[in-house]
Chain A
Amino acid sequence: MTVHLSILLALPAVGGLVGAVAGGRAARWPALLGSFLALAYSIVAIVRFKSGGGLQFVTDQDWISALGVHFKVGLDGLNILLVLLTTVTFSATTLWAALREDYERPGLFFFWFGLTQSAVLLALTAQDLLLFVLAFDLMLVPVLFLTGIWGGPERVRAITKLFIYTLVGSLLMLAAAIATAVMSQGDSTLSFAFSDLAVRIPETLGSGTQDWIFLFFAAAFLVKMPAFPLQGWMPDGYGNMPLPVLAVFSGVLSKVAAYGFIRVLLPLFPDAAQHFQTLFLLLALASILYGSAMAFTTTQTRLVLGYSSIAQLGFIVLGIFSLRNEGVQGALLQSVNHGLVVVPAFFVVALLSARAGGSEDLRDMGGIAFRAPVLAALFLVVALATLAMPGSSNFAGEFLILLGVFKAKVTIAILASFGVAMASVYSLRLFIRTVHNRVGPKVQSRELSVADGLVLVPLILAILALALYPQFGLSRSEASVKRAVSAGVVK
């Protein structure tokens, strides 16, 4: 079986489209099938993937020849794990939406949801700068509709903020991408392919130009993550997204931004990356401290997870801007870890809120462990993974990140280590306040249903599997990370 990535990219969207055409309650099944086929396909791809073999399963076709844009997609060590993360979490989330939620106009919901997954996969596999930018922006369009139609009470304000923040970033990125290609063109034909740009940029672009292009890209990525100080849309956005959308947004879409740093900025603009290293390390540090501090003061469970994501993504940025192999590898691993952890965490929070009379406030929850031991146990695994318990894959990720940063800037690394401690505070606080403690006023404990288990258990198993064998990810990404970092690494 040859792996044509275009098929993988199309499967979720086609499934969603068939579902939309079918309409009504039947819409969920084609969508579900699409996302599970994509999962199967990505598993085949990772089995056949050769570690250290460079770019594989490449599809390269002229798309807009006048602009030198290629439809070029491929898998390498940088994106293969994230692709798998995407297919795993989207399958679980689609299953959740299909089994548990009962939306109005389900056809439309699953169509947009499938399109989100296809756009994310395209962004991750794109090997052409304009294609990447296109997919990066395209991811957002379905989120607009999903949140706007099926979101919480403040949904219109939420999407307005979300859209203005993220598209300001994305459109600047578009301008920067075009400028990159045109200015590096020289005497040859226009090309947006990463492989061409990597050769041309050092020869043609002055450091001033590289700097502003770098900052335009970085702004887009930092907004999408979100990272301090560009997180202003997050409380409203996270508070009002429908749960499946929230899970994949926080679990996967934010990782595409982190991936953008590694895929686009480090290899293409190594000088600028070094130039701004301290600035971005400080931003990452601020994200960690701010996110952690907010996460253990807010009482909204969604926002606890939202702010903890800011902190976790701060760690990821920290690793990337250590500009060391270990740090970047740790960042990649941590991206996968956080995605795998935060998606079930959102599901658990939804289950807990369903048992607390619909309230998502910590003060209304508590004491379900007696009646729902399985749910509590599953949540414990998630919580321990979040706080990077030694033995968990998150521990390996954070360890690598800090190792990289210690080599680069010792002071920042020491300060960032406090973030590890703070992670245990907020994740244990969330766990204890919801599962133990006094039984909340409106809480009615009951065990999780079979449908919930179908969604949660495989995700928890994936966390455990990765904890036992983090080498699964590291060995596949090592060679590619070295290549990506080699341009800018301080020897």
Chain B
Amino acid sequence: MIAAAAEKLHGPHIDWAGLSPIVALLGGATIVLLVGLARSRTTRQVVVPLLSIVAFAAAIGLSVWQWGERKDLIEGALRLDELTLAMTMIFGVAGIATVLLSWRALAPREAAHGEYYALLLTAAAGMVVLAGASNTVTIFLGYELLSIPLYVLCATEMRRASSLESGLKYLIIGSVGSATLLYGLALLYGATGSTDFSGMAAALEPGGDLVSDPLLLTGIALTLAGIAFKASVAPFHQWTPDVYEGAPTPITTFMAVTTKAAALGVAIRLFDVALIQAQPDWGPLLAALAAVTIIVGNVGALGQTSLKRMLAYSSVAQAGYMLGGIVVASKLGVQATVFYLAVYLLMNVAAFAVIVARERETDRGDDISALDGIGATRPWLAWPLTIAMLALAGLPATAGFIGKVYLIDALVSGGYTWLGVLIVIGSMISLGYYLRVVAAIWMKPAPAEAAVPALAGGSLGAPEHEEPRTRVAGWETVFVGVLFAAATIVFGIVPSPLFDAVEDVGRAIGLL
């Protein structure tokens, strides 16, 4: 009887296959949260992370399965295409790496494992929503869904003041960003009369006098500012170094890669799909922002001694490079940006994995001196970081080189040669700080570790026996570092698989 009633009742059609990656992430979050309540310590410390990995892996797997589908979900609120799916894979890979880096970290222990991993999965789901948004309301929904868990995650090392400060700072500045974004989206609705991307694009068709409408321009500017907060594009980047430095390092890893990817993903969709007709308006504006970002990020990174702060500024600069691909509003540009995002994931995770490991092995935290001489003592950490630094600087035989070539190619084709030259100038400046790391690894002598306990009052007689060194980096951090660094090299030499994938993404956006 129920079956018969259900047949008569036609609810809205729900495309579960299309939604499956989000379902996997949110479902995973729920299960992880519940399992995290278990009494047994093993369950909390082992099963919960494993389940999180399974959820992220499921999201990746489902994205692979859906690859090639292009459709609107939930009445056009979400768009499922290769861009969404590619982003989902990036979030998934970053998520798995983060779970591995968090395995022995302090943060999940202090915040309870269930909550920590559930928040991580929820944030990832929010990012998928943001990257797939094709409606201004969905943009805001995704934006908040990714931000709120991250505010909390930044503060999960509750006993460390700087972690709490980081969370609070992120919350306050993030809220300003949200408010700006919301205001901008409201103005866009006011100007175009539609919250839907296709509706907006239709309202901006050539021939209309909307293109230089002040309401639209203000809307674009404010929306851009809101997105720029998340992507840490200058001059909206000031929170980045402080928050990156204070947050637990695995969370910094996750944020550095994924929020940037999500924000740039939605920027691609908003600017290159919905507002494409207004490109003459926002093109120069975005180009100016990219230029400022490249300079500010690279110059800011020069004087840093904290590796996390340095990578924060470097991530600002990298955001500037990637913005270039959106500026030109071409298929090539979209492909270059997505390609660089994938490469950026590899390089950054490799670098952060080593920082996590060194934070655990030494008491020098993320200071650059923690790396002194590890070329001789810890080659399995030295190589991944070296490769990551060279790749971030864009040296050949790494994927970073190809990524930069692709971006410059897109910029020159799109008539923004000067921005391409600026990327090159930015890379030159960046050598100033990336090479400092390489020099610390290979060219400085390793400090005598035994000297520290001896100075602390211990006798010379084998201080290790008095205080057994519990400081191990954990094989999983080394594994993550080596794996991602190896991938950086492999995609630098054989980049075609990645090129094929972004080719699909470019086609999905439908630009020339």
A residues with a Cβ closer than 8 A to B are: 64-67, 105, 130, 133-135, 137-138, 141, 144-145, 148-149, 155-156, 159-160, 163-164, 167-168, 171-172, 174-175, 178-179, 181-183, 185, 190
The answer, among A105, A133, A163, A178, for a CB contact under 8 Å with B409, is A178
CA distance A67 to B403 in the complex (A): 11
Listed residue (A67, A178, A179) with the most chain B CB atoms within 10 angstroms of its CB? A178
Give A149 to B446 CA distance when docked, in angstroms.
Answer: 13
Are A156 and B443 in contact, with the CB atoms below 8 A?
Answer: yes
Q: Which residue of A lies closest to B439 (CB)?
A: A156
Task: Give residues in B with beta carbon < 8 Å to A.
Answer: 335, 375-376, 390, 394-397, 401-402, 404-406, 408-409, 412-413, 417, 420-421, 423-425, 427-428, 431-432, 435, 438-439, 442-443, 495-496, 499, 503
Cα–Cα distance between A145 and B335 once the two chains are bound (Å): 34
**Across the interface, which residues of A come within 8 angstroms of B405, CB to CB?**
67, 130, 174, 178
Instruction: Tell me the smallest distance from the CB of A160 to a CB of chain B, in Å.
Output: 7
- Bound-state CA distance A181–B410 (Å) is 12
Contact of A164 with B397 at beta-carbon distance under 8 Å, contacts A105-B376, A148-B442, A149-B443 already known: no
Is the Cβ of B428 less than 8 Å from the Cβ of A149?
no
Asked, given contacts A65-B496, A138-B396, A145-B442, whether A182 binds B424 with beta carbons under 8 Å apart, the answer is: no
Q: Contact: B375 with A160, CB < 8 Å?
A: no
- Complex: chain A residue closest to B394, CB-CB: A171
| Given A64-B496, A137-B396, A138-B397, A179-B412 contact (CB < 8 Å) | yes
Give complex CA distance A145, B443 in Å: 8
Contact of A163 among B375, B408, B413, B435 (CB under 8 A): B435
Known A-B contacts A137-B395, A164-B428, A171-B424; A67 and B406 likewise in contact (beta carbons under 8 Å): yes
Across the A-B interface, give the 9 residue pairs with the lowest CB-CB distance, nearest first. Answer: A134-B396, A182-B412, A66-B499, A148-B443, A175-B424, A171-B424, A138-B396, A137-B396, A178-B408
Which residues of chain A come closer than 8 Å to B375, judged between CB atoms?
149
The docked-state distance in angstroms from the alpha carbon of A167 to that of B420 is: 16
15 contacts between A and B (CB under 8 A): A64-B496, A134-B396, A134-B397, A137-B395, A137-B396, A149-B443, A156-B439, A156-B443, A164-B432, A171-B427, A172-B424, A175-B408, A175-B420, A175-B423, A175-B424
Question: Is B443 touching A67 in the complex (CB atoms < 8 A)?
Answer: no
A155's nearest neighbour on chain B, judged by CB, is B443
Measured CB to CB, the nearest residue on chain B to A216 is B421
CA gap between A164 and B436 in the complex, in Å: 12
List residues of chain B with CB within 8 A of the CB of A134: 396-397, 401
Interface of A is mostly: helix
Do residues B408 and A174 form an inter-chain contact, with CB atoms below 8 A?
yes
In the complex with contacts A105-B376, A160-B435, A178-B442 CB distance below 8 A: no
Q: How far is the CA of A141 from the CA of B390 in the complex (A)?
A: 9
Residues of B within 8 A of A130 (CB): 405
CA gap between A174 and B425 in the complex, in Å:
11
Assembled-state Cα–Cα distance A190/B435 (Å): 33
**In whole angstroms, how far apart are the Cα atoms of A168 and B394 in the complex?**
12
Q: Please measure, in the bound complex, the distance between the C-alpha atom of A190 and the C-alpha atom of B427, giving whole angstroms.
A: 24
- Which of chain A's residues has its CB closest to B402's CB? A64
CA of A144 to CA of B439, assembled, Å:
9
Task: Give chain B residues whose Cβ lies under 8 Å from the Cβ of A156.
Answer: 439, 443
- Distance between Cα atoms of A149 and B443 in the complex (Å): 5
A182 to B402, CA, bound (A): 15
Do A182 and B409 have beta carbons less than 8 Å apart? yes
CB contacts (< 8 Å) of B423 on chain A: these are 175
Q: Which single member of A138, A149, A175 contacts B421 (CB below 8 Å)?
A: A175
Q: How far apart are the CA atoms of A172 and B417 in the complex, in Å?
A: 12
Q: Closest CB of chain A to B418's CB: distance in Å?
A: 10
A124 to B409, CA, bound (A): 24
Knowing A156-B443, A164-B431, the reply to whether A178 touches B420 (Cβ < 8 A) is yes
Complex alpha-carbon distance, A178 and B414, angstroms? 13
- Which chain A residues lie closer than 8 Å to B438 at the CB level? 144, 148
**A154 shortest CB reach to chain B, Å:** 12
In the bound complex, how far is the Cα of B431 from the Cα of A167, in angstroms? Answer: 9
B500 closest partner in A (C-beta): A66
Closest A-chain residue to B499, C-beta based?
Answer: A66
In the bound assembly, the distance between CA atoms of A56 and B438 in angstroms comes to 40
User: Nearest-CB distance from A140 to chain B (Å)?
Assistant: 8
A167 and B428 form a contact (CB under 8 A)? yes
Cα distance A163–B428 when bound, in Å? 9
Measured in the bound complex, the distance between the Cα atoms of B417 and A145 in whole Å is 33
Inter-chain contact B496/A163, CB cutoff 8 Å: no
In Å, the complex CA distance between A430 and B397 comes to 41
Residues in chain A near residue B427, CB distance under 8 A: 171
Q: Are B503 and A66 in contact (CB under 8 A)?
A: yes
Q: How far is the CA of A133 from the CA of B402 in the complex (A)?
A: 12
- Quick one: closest B residue to A62, CB to CB? B496
Hey, which chain B residues are within 8 Å of A160, CB to CB? 435, 439
Nearest residue in B to A160 (C-beta to C-beta)? B435
Query: In the assembled complex, how far is the CB of residue A210 from the closest CB belonging to chain B, in whole angstroms?
Result: 14
How far apart are the CA atoms of A64 and B402 in the complex, in Å?
9
Residue of A nearest to B440 (CB): A156
Do A135 and B420 form a contact, CB below 8 Å, given A148-B439, A149-B443, A164-B431? no
| Contacting pair B503 A174 (CB below 8 A) | no
Bound Cα distance from A148 to B401, whole angstroms:
22
Q: Are B395 and A141 in contact (CB under 8 A)?
A: yes
**Chain B residue, CB-CB nearest to A64:** B495
A135 in contact with B439 (CB, 8 Å): no
CB distance from B164 to the nearest CB of A (A): 38
- By a CB distance below 8 angstroms, the chain A residues around B394 are 171
CA distance A190 to B405 in the complex (A): 13
Looking across the interface, which residue of chain A has its beta carbon closest to that of B493? A63
Closest Cβ–Cβ distance, residue A130 to chain B (whole Å)? 7
**Shortest Cβ distance from B342 into chain A, in angstroms?**
14
Q: A67-B405, A160-B439, A171-B394 are in contact. List 12 more A-B contacts (CB 8 A).
A: A66-B335, A66-B496, A67-B406, A67-B409, A138-B395, A149-B375, A159-B435, A174-B405, A174-B408, A175-B420, A178-B405, A183-B412
